[in-house]
Amino acid sequence: MDPNQPIAQEQPVDEATRIRQAGHSRRAFLFKLSLALNGVVGAVMAVPIIGYLFGPATGKKSAEEAWVDLGSLADFPEGETRLATFRNPITTAWDGQTGDIPCWVRRVSGTTFQVFAINCAHLGCPVRWFAESKLFLCPCHGGAYYQDGSRASGPPERGLFEYEHKIAADKLLITAGKMPTLAAKCGSKPQLTQIANATPVQSSAKEMPEPRCGSCQS
């Protein structure tokens, strides 16, 4: 350093400049802090949204392969058809009662069961079981099904849909995550008759074609 060179003196900073610099630094700090807080809030809010959008897709395969317990075999007496309810495996906790799905369980004999979807194969109305007539009847459009789920009469062109089931540890299980299939069992059933050309003196009955279950229709 040259001793003969004059030493540069700092220019005095006036009060107004110091105030502006302090204000600028404070605004920059608050701006960065707000960006950080907004990022944290956005990340927290994105977690349930992402779970809602991608949760069903990631859990779909496991839900389809899951077996749902309908109850003990003792809950379904032989030769009877009873209503049962199961929890849809792909629902969430906040779905409430909408996740509970009813179905009809028919115990033919021993360990031979049929589990029917409650929905009519016509437009999806819930069908009811009438033990006296041994028929499932749809209250919406008059569809009728035999006790084995095959079509009896009315608008439906096929039988009831049937869940795949199995028995394990004295429990009846179904694969509720998969779409039920058509009731596949066909048997000999009495033909329905339709009254035609009735007169006060005489009436004649015209036989309808023999009903067939949905999986047997051509």
In this predicted structure, the answer to whether residue 212 has a pLDDT above a threshold of 50 is: no
What would the pLDDT profile of 167-181 be if each residue is shown by its tens digit?
A: 999 999 998 766 666
**20: number of CA atoms within 13 Å, CB side?**
5
- Please state, in angstroms and rounded to a whole number, the distance separating the CA atoms of residues 121 and 141: 11
Across 44-58, 78-92, 100-114, 127-141, least confident range: 44-58
- Please state, in angstroms and rounded to a whole number, the distance separating the CA atoms of residues 138 and 218: 24
Output the DSSP codes for 45-85: HHHHHHHHHHHHHHHHHHHHT--EEEEEGGGS-TT-EEEEE
Number of Cβ within 10 Å of residue 55's Cβ equals 13
Q: Is 175 within 8 Å of 163 (Cβ atoms)?
A: yes
Q: What's the pTM value of the predicted model, to 2 decimals?
A: 0.55
What would the pLDDT profile of 86-130 be if each residue is shown by its tens digit?
A: 888 777 777 777 788 899 999 999 999 999 999 999 999 999 999
In this predicted structure, the answer to whether residue 12 has a pLDDT above a threshold of 50 is: yes
